[in-house]
Each structure stands twice: as C-alpha cells, then as structure tokens.
Structure 1
Amino acid sequence: MENINIILNNKEYKQALEKLSEYERNREFCNHTIEHFMDVSRIAYIMVLEEKLNVSKEVIYAIGLLHDIGRVKQYEEGIHHDIASVEMSKEILKETSFTDEEINIILNGIANHRKESDNKLEEIIYKADKLSRQCFNCKAEKECYWSSEKKNFKITY
C-alpha cells in the first residue's frame, strides 16, 4: 500500500482534509472525513473481491481516499466536487508510482462516483459511497435531502 501512504502523507491532501474538517465542523449531515474515505475504500474493496474484478487494492483505496477531496474547492469556489476532486487528484497522484492506466481508472472512478454507471468498478464506487453512510444512526436523517431510496438504513458491509 505504498501509493496509498504517499497519498495520505501528501501535503495538499493533508491540507484539504484539515480544511474539510473546518468547513464541515457544524454540518449536521454526513461529513467528508478520512473515516468516510476509508469506509468507502473498504466497502468497495470487499465488493470488488465479491465480484472477482481484476482491480488492485491500491487503485480502489486511491479512489476512495480521493473521491470527495474536491469538496474543499466546492466550498471555496463553487466547483462541483467530483470535477474538483479529479483536478486535485491529478496533482496528488503525480507523487505515486501508479501507471498511466491505473491513474486513468482512478480518475474515472472519482469523476463518476456520483452516478450509476455501466462500468462495474464505477458502479461499485457509487454504491460503496452510499453504503458507507449510516443513515440508520443519523440524528439529522429526517431533515436530509436524500430520498429514502438513496438512504442507507441497513448494514450490508
């Protein structure tokens, strides 16, 4: 998991996590913390193993760790976080030893994590993002704008 540790120790990544924590300090709804990023990564990894997809653990974790990092730019500049996450990730991934093909898979997974997809990995990332949310334990669940179909009311992974 060398590349994952490079991401976790990247200066820009660490600063973005700190800013996200500050921006969402008083947020009632789901926060975008390292815990959320790790939950998405772990759930996606389990799903990839179950589906027997040939995708490396590091690629999956990279997508999970980076998929919402652009929320900082969404708060600061109004840029949709999926687009901003891709742009920020391009810079962060330069420090890693991922191949160009792996980087392309990572960036596509990040770019498409907010919508259902015909691409199996991207669909898994979308589902893992939703399954990571503990709507069944959320104090603000009734005020949440997510539809009841989108909310996670059970433990699957």
Structure 2
Amino acid sequence: MKWNKINNFTDIENFMDFFGGFHDSCLKELYMWTEAFVDEDLSMSMSSELDTCVRVLFQRQVLGPSAIELLFKGVTHFHIHPRAEDQDSIIYGAKLLLKEGQFYWAESEEWQIDQPFLYPISWISAKELHWREVSLWMGKEQRYGVMNNEENL
C-alpha cells in the first residue's frame, strides 16, 4: 500500500475521479498525533514546526477502490462535526481544494473556504496531503486501534 502525494490541481482532479468524489462513502475512522511527548524522565519535547498529522479512513459502496486513506501533514485546522442522532453519516460528495499552499478537504460539496462554519460539517486543512488505496480494509474492524476493556465503559 504505497502512499501517493497530492501536489497540485491535476493531482486533486485525478484523485477525486479515482475515488468518485467520495460519493456514497463514510468516514470510518481517524487518528491524530503530534510530535510532542513527555519522556520517561518527565521532560517535555515539542516541535516548532506544524507537527499535527491526521490519518482518515474512508469506505464507500463502490468497487475499485472501496476504501482509501488520507494522510494530512502539517494540519492547520481540524473540525469534526458528528451527525445528529436522526441523520445518516453518508458522504454524498466531498470537496478537495488547494489554496495558498494549503489543502482543504470537506465532507460536502457545498462547503466554502471563505465561510468554513456556515454548514455543520467536518473539514480539515493541512500543508501536505497523501493518499493510498486500502480496499482490503473494508468492514467493521477497527484499523487504528481497538479500545481495551470496553466492558468497563
């Protein structure tokens, strides 16, 4: 499963065509991390760079490909808006943009970069964007980790 870097508008168009514009897909899982950590001696280490990264797994109801993973590096904004109880979680079409050196992904084609909070949807922006096909990752199984001791919740 090789990572592919998105560099420009042509790459965006090719990727969106490849994954059908996210039509009939869902955000299955996501995982976020930074380079910050506390060492064993309790000293803290921080990066002065944009060090937040997010991996997102999407699945869709179409063969070839059925699942892809996006990797956002140098995240500048991360807005997750879960659906209400009476709403489905289907993505009918997503938006992917490149503007002033940043990539923007939003779970709706209606989303506007100049009014990012106009609609209650999830969106993310980052300095770098990579993707890979992971069609073997279909189904309910968690790929980014399983909660331990679920029975204690």
Q: Is the pair's TM-score, using the shorter chain for normalization, greater than 0.5? A: no
Larger Rg: 2
Q: TM-score, normalised by structure 2?
A: 0.29
